[in-house]
Amino acid sequence: MDDLHIRKGTIKDIPAFYPLFKNSMHKQFTEYTVTTRDYFTDMSYTEAAIRQQLSGELINLFLAFHKEQVIGFFLTQKPTGGVSMAIWLAVHEDFQKHGAATELLGLWEEIALVEGAHALQIWTRDHNIPFYKHRGFRLVGEFPQAWYRVDVSLLYKTIAEPQEIKYLRR
């Protein structure tokens, strides 16, 4: 896609990112009940909560832009013990299938390596498994009625050899 730009987000980006996040929660994550999606946006993943986690360096925010518009996002946990876990990944419906999600995954891998990770972990719905497998992830398990009663599968990708010196650093 022309004019696609991917970068790590900052606290200053939250006002531009959050409307897409809220819209995506309600339109793209329909495996959750309406009540649960409202809980995510009104209680669990509010602008303030994301700001707090980002400023506390607990999460990373990666953003995809088309021109100046935020068209995709990826929230991930910072690595713990060498593993970084995905939280939410979404691309606006009008911009899907143009490489934005793949680019966001690539930036996650790049930053996770710098932060001492040796593996990436994703819990996802079955319909997303081919996408992740095509990008080097391995399917390793299923978790029926997991978080919020949604069936998910676990995928991971090894990105480096585990080295204690990397994942125990500050």
Question: Strand ranges (DSSP E) for the chain?
Answer: 4-8, 59-66, 69-77, 83-91, 119-124, 138-143, 152-158
The stretches in the chain having pLDDT less than 70 are 1, 170
Structure tokens at 66: 């088309």
pTM score, whole prediction: 0.95
The domain limits of the chain are 4-167
- Structure confidence at residue 98 (pLDDT): 95
Q: How far apart are the first and last CA of the chain?
A: 38
Q: What is the per-residue pLDDT for 1? A: 66
Domain spanning 4-167 has what CATH number?
3.40.630.30
SS3 at position 21? helix
- Amino acid 168: pLDDT: 85
- The whole-angstrom separation of Cα 123 and Cα 113 is 20
